[in-house]
Amino acid sequence: MEKVFIVGAGIMGAGIAQVASQAGFSVCVSDISLEVVKNSLEKVKKGLAAQVEKGKMTNEEMAGILGRIEPAESMAKAAEASLIIEAAPEDLGLKQKIFKELDEQARPEAILATNTTSCSITEIASATKTPERVVGMHFFNPPTHMKLVEIMPGILTSEAAVEKTRALARQMGKEPVITNKEGPAGVTSRILAGLLNEAVWVLQEGIARVEDIDKAMVLGCNHKMGPLALIDLIGVDVHLAKTRMLYTKTGDSRYRPCYLLEQMVQAGLLGKKAGRGFYDYSKDPAEPIGFFKK
């Protein structure tokens, strides 16, 4: 049984852990503390229990999935894994620190993958002595439902590492897309960032209300979710960090973030994870928050 080691037990890390376990991998998850990991895995358990209640999974299947996931007190267990996936916050310095340690702990043939949406693969890999095995392996939220995994090499990533990552993604039941080279935010996140950013500008300029912007894109463009609701799901802070990075790297005004996003982050309106963003999630159904109703 191949082993996967995951750094980061947030929404993405926990989701990737579940995906890997469901595919039959043995999974180990680490974070800043054992308590954080255990709390995160408890949420995974609740999600699986809901699937059992709906008849989409048996108790035995749930037990098997949970039984293949274990919390780790440190990154020492990374030495047992053939695939290591970092799913920490979008902070280049933090990721470089993590990869420096992983490079020292991991066995030579292990793949060091990052789930980053906006940080440079090459810059992350620069913290290691083996940049040829560092690769972008971007899962999409929620990892348990989204089929795509976008694989992006850094400037020094080997073809062998890319192909091994592709094979592992397929083993997890995902459909991989591989970029020809590294580019800021890759394919999906870059295109999406421009679309989402434009939606915020339309709101800031007072052209339409939150609910009408989202309704227009759902009914007029056949999107499953409106752009502002999607930013809430991604995280307003995460979207802001991505657009800042793209604007800095490309100099393209398409990615110039609205001041409204800065205000929302300062006000703690970070989206669904905070209970409020463009919408107030304490309401059922969610409603645009006060100053967006005008």
User: What was the pLDDT predicted at 2?
Assistant: 87
Under 8 Å between Cβ of 11 and 19 = no
- Residue 89, preceding peptide bond in cis (omega within 30° of 0): no
3-class secondary-structure state, position 71: strand
User: What was the pLDDT predicted at 73?
Assistant: 87
Which parts of the chain have pLDDT scores under 70?
1, 293-294
User: What was the pLDDT predicted at 293?
Assistant: 67
Among candidate residues 293, 240, 233, the one with its CA nearest the CA of residue 267: 240
Q: Which CATH class is domain 3-178?
A: alpha beta
User: What was the pLDDT predicted at 1?
Assistant: 60
User: What was the pLDDT predicted at 291?
Assistant: 75
User: What was the pLDDT predicted at 95?
Assistant: 98
Joined together, the tokens standing for residue 200 give 């915020």
Give the CATH fold of the 188-278 domain: N-(1-d-carboxylethyl)-l-norvaline Dehydrogenase; domain 2 (1.10.1040)
Q: pLDDT by residue (tens digit) across 38-59?
A: 999 999 999 999 999 999 999 9
Domain boundaries, the chain: 3-178, 188-278
pTM for this model (two decimals): 0.89
User: What was the pLDDT predicted at 153?
Assistant: 98
- Scored b (16 or more CB within 10 A) or e, 90-129 reads bebeebbebbebbbebbeeebbbbbbbbbbbbbbbbbbbe
